[in-house]
Structure 1
């Protein structure tokens, strides 16, 4: 990716009366409106060779000239971190994130994050906001994430996420026996008392919709496939807890482990010591920003979830193969 952006174009008469930043966003869709506004204020996007303000009105027929340099978007340092690259081309990078890896630096995790590893893997990402990260997974959630390697790709992916055309499906091991699939349509916001948690709110939350279906039932647990329609913080974890089927191992929403009667010591240990929420981003589908082709990726379940599922299957096979009643 080049560091210099050079463009020249004419404002059509049909845009007469529009604000400069509004017209620029339509004429130069590869870059966000906020970035274009910054270039206008810096005098890097001019009108007929003169500096202008974002709110200035256009008459049509003006020449817009853009001459801008892509500056580093953050002060994070590259670090060599093991990244499981599922797919990569000039515009996209798809990662199968391992559990335990924080996605973005924050107060408690200033480095050692996925973002630091991305900058090492692809140094040009320093010119992209948040190193191209357009959506996140919780630290202890594993699975697929897409990263934009160019500004046009980032703009496209953000718009696809906004339009809810990106398909994201997760595998989760929930507590309790779920009898059938369904949809949770319940707004989510910050918990009123515990600011580390999110919660379903009657007032003030953001729209959140999760579809789920049953993949496999056990005596006191269920493997479910969840599909996100929205992407709120902790959405699947909060919604599954809301319907009284929290995820195994969830430190915030899970409560005490539910144990089948007469469970083997191995299963008891596996459930009580499962080290994280049993949640994995298994499927990802989107439209490629450059080609317009539909792209699809899948990531197999990680070892810890596979081991727990085998313990649950063994428990079913030991002659106690009738699931408990739902609850």
Structure 2
């Protein structure tokens, strides 16, 4: 992203129908293109004025009050469009669903401005340049494959962010982990920055709430294929949580520890395992409510070829 800021000017009068509501909730209804959490951030930054005063978000809305907002937001994308192949699972005027391959970075960053999903999206749909992060509302790690939703309008973006915050977006992953797991379970452990290595995440006291549900999809001689459902969406959540319960994801270069080669594995299958140099994690299913029609929708994506070959080698 460019990192530059632009100013959004909004103004209006609180309708009598919203009088008595908490102010941040009322403003979110007055300006539906922006989420309640974003408006709360603007209020905390002092960018919201009500009848000339700087309000608190828990204040009560009064009918007829004059609202003026001058907010600083990240400028629309100035990243370059690139003709990078995309596997589009679904597309309409409001959203896109992409099956992201492993190895594709989601967002441009310092030292990595090209060859990302954002660059590919800007080529596929140039109108996405007008949206924050080219419409991407959640991310997948570079080496994680699978389904990812992209908003095509600001209204759809706001609605999808609200669904994510309300934990009503269904996200299921396939994860191949070390060791044999007998039954499914839940990991409820807060995640934050590692206290020593700031490039990693860890289960830490005082971290953000993180809840991961898993069930056994298939048992292998020395590994387990899990179907994992996210209740929250913290950075590296599945990878951190599975390592925390001593079943790290196979191939994970950050949280997986030393490669373990099972005894008795053929040389050919050992070569497949040693050659799999990414986390065996795939976003297999995505469910959400369409931001315009209200229809409940869902999509599935098969695991990529390298993941399937790894699974076969370890069976």
Q: TM-score if structure 1 supplies the norm length?
A: 0.82
Cα drift, residue 62 of structure 1: 6.4
Query: SS of 2:175's equivalent?
Result: strand
The within-5 A match list for 1:20-39 is: 23-32=26-35, 34=38
Equivalent-residue separation in structure 1 for 2:26 and 2:55 (angstroms): 10
The within-5 A match list for 1:1-327 is: 11-12=15-16, 14-15=18-19, 23-32=26-35, 34=38, 55=55, 59-61=62-64, 73-201=76-204, 203-313=205-315
Query: SS of 1:158's equivalent?
Result: helix
Cα drift, residue 72 of structure 1: 5.5
Count of equivalent residues: 300
Name the residue aligned to 1:316: none
Equivalent-residue separation in structure 2 for 1:168 and 1:256 (angstroms): 29
Contact 1:184/1:209 (CA < 8 Å) preserved in 2?
yes
Give 5+ residue unaligned stretches, structure 2: 1-8
Query: SS of 1:295's equivalent?
Result: strand
Are residues 140 and 61 of structure 1, via their aligned partners in 2, closer, same or farther at CA, if it must alter by over 3 Å?
same
Please say which structure displays the higher CA radius of gyration.
Answer: 1
Equivalent-residue separation in structure 2 for 1:233 and 1:71 (angstroms): 21
CA RMSD of aligned residues (A): 3.2
Contact 1:92/1:147 (CA < 8 Å) preserved in 2?
yes
Q: Deviations over 1:5-50 (max 9, x none)?
A: 999887226526975x763322232323547998xx9x9x999xxx
Equivalent-residue separation in structure 2 for 1:100 and 1:141 (angstroms): 8
Equivalent-residue separation in structure 1 for 2:299 and 2:209 (angstroms): 27
Are residues 64 and 97 of structure 1, via their aligned partners in 2, closer, same or farther at CA, if it must alter by over 3 Å?
same
Q: Deviations over 1:259-299 (max 9, x none)?
A: 22211001211112212100000000000110111000000
Contact 1:11/1:63 (CA < 8 Å) preserved in 2?
no
Are residues 292 and 217 of structure 1, via their aligned partners in 2, closer, same or farther at CA, if it must alter by over 3 Å?
same
Cα drift, residue 126 of structure 1: 1.3
Cα drift, residue 75 of structure 1: 2.2
Q: TM-score if structure 2 supplies the norm length?
A: 0.85
Are residues 36 and 230 of structure 1, via their aligned partners in 2, closer, same or farther at CA, if it must alter by over 3 Å?
closer
